[in-house]
């Protein structure tokens, strides 16, 4: 069993730590803004270190579950950074959603110190983290993946190795981009339906029995109808960050992404209206605000304007 330093005991990180403990791995955590989560995992067997470098000195593997690659770089190489505690062969696994050029820069700095690096972002949400059924997308050396595979298998049921460092984060940006585009389409469709006076619950039932059905539809629409935006699985601000990273990567590669750019605008609208801290399904709230409707309330038909 491995000794693992875990950084980022948040919505996803807490159940991931619990999975590692349940698999018999030793886990060391550090103080975090989610203090209650740290206390819960310590009560279940994790050890709390005083600082990142102290956590690294006690372990062989460090898992970073942080929002951005810049956060990983700052934690490792900033003042009193975790890298100060790294010995030869120490393995860093970045399991957040990073920007591939930043990932490759961070990995190079880890390798310069004699360490090893994988980017291994995940999908599956808090439920997948609790159940150990996350899907893991890996970039990095074959030998490094083989060495830490038992750790990743405690967290995920499917592991896909896409290639060298940065490939895992590229795959994750593509996955999130597609999911966010789907959410944007659902938001626009239901906003149009509500503005036209359709019964949106009946519409949901029809779509569920049609070729438009999808996991995105089944996740998003019940939350919209229940107005459950404060129950956060994936914060809207993070969705905005991820799709902006995808479109930035595409610009570097001169790949046009007109649909993704449109979804980005819809997320920016929702953020500008103050919904960034809510669940990503709140992408619909910007449209609701403009149209002065609330999907799920009694429909009020809006007549289309005459052309000309």
Averaged pLDDT, 141-162? 97
Cα end-to-end distance, the chain, whole Å: 71
Averaged pLDDT, 34-41? 92
Report all structural domains of the chain as residue ranges with CATH numbers, in order of start: 3-165 (3.40.50.720), 170-291 (1.10.1040.10)
Q: Of the candidates 207, 228, 210, which has an alpha carbon nearest to the alpha carbon of residue 296?
A: 228
Within 8 A by CB and 6+ apart from 246, the residues are 173, 174, 176, 177, 257, 260
pLDDT of residue 297: 67
Note the residue count of the chain: 308
> Is 172 considered catalytic here?
yes
Phi-psi region of 132 (alpha: psi -120 to 50; beta: other; left: phi over 0): left
Answer whether 136's CB lies under 8 Å from 282's CB. no
Using only the alpha carbons of the chain, give its radius of gyration. Answer: 21
Which residue has 């610009």 as its token pair? 251
Averaged pLDDT, 168-190? 98
Would the pLDDT of 145 be above 80?
A: yes
Catalytic residue among 172, 240, 271, 285: 172
Within 8 A by CB and 6+ apart from 105, the residues are 73
Query: What are the tokens at 95?
Result: 């399991």
pLDDT of residue 308: 36
């Amino acid at each position: 069993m491995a000794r693992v330093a875990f950084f980022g005991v948040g919505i996803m990180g807490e159940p991931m730590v619990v999975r590692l403990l349940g698999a018999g791995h030793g886990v060391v955590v550090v103080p975090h803004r989610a203090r209650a989560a740290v206390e819960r995992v310590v009560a279940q067997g994790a050890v709390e270190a005083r600082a990142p470098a102290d956590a690294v000195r006690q372990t062989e593997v460090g898992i970073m579950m942080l929002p951005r690659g810049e956060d990983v770089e700052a934690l490792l190489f900033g003042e009193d950074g975790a890298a100060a505690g790294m010995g030869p062969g120490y393995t860093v696994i970045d399991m957040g959603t990073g920007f591939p050029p930043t990932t490759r820069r961070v990995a190079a700095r880890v390798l310069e110190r004699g360490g090893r690096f994988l980017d291994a972002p995940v999908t599956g949400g808090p439920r997948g983290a609790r159940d150990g059924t996350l899907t893991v997308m890996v970039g990095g050396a074959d030998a490094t993946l083989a060495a830490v595979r038992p750790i990743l298998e405690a967290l995920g049921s499917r592991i896909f190795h896409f290639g060298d460092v940065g490939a895992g984060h590229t795959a994750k940006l593509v996955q999130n981009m597609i999911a966010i585009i789907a959410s944007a389409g659902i938001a626009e469709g239901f906003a149009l339906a509500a503005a036209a006076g359709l019964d949106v619950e009946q519409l949901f039932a029809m779509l569920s029995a049609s070729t438009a059905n999808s996991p995105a539809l089944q996740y998003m629409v019940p939350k919209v109808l229940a107005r459950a935006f404060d129950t956060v699985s994936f914060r809207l601000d993070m969705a905005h960050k991820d799709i902006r990273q995808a479109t930035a990567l595409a610009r570097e590669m001169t790949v046009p992404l007109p649909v993704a750019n449109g979804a980005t605008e819809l997320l920016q609208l929702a953020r500008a209206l103050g919904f960034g801290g809510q669940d990503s399904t709140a992408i619909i709230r910007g449209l609701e605000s403009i149209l002065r409707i609330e999907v799920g309330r009694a429909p009020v038909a809006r007549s289309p304007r005459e052309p000309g």
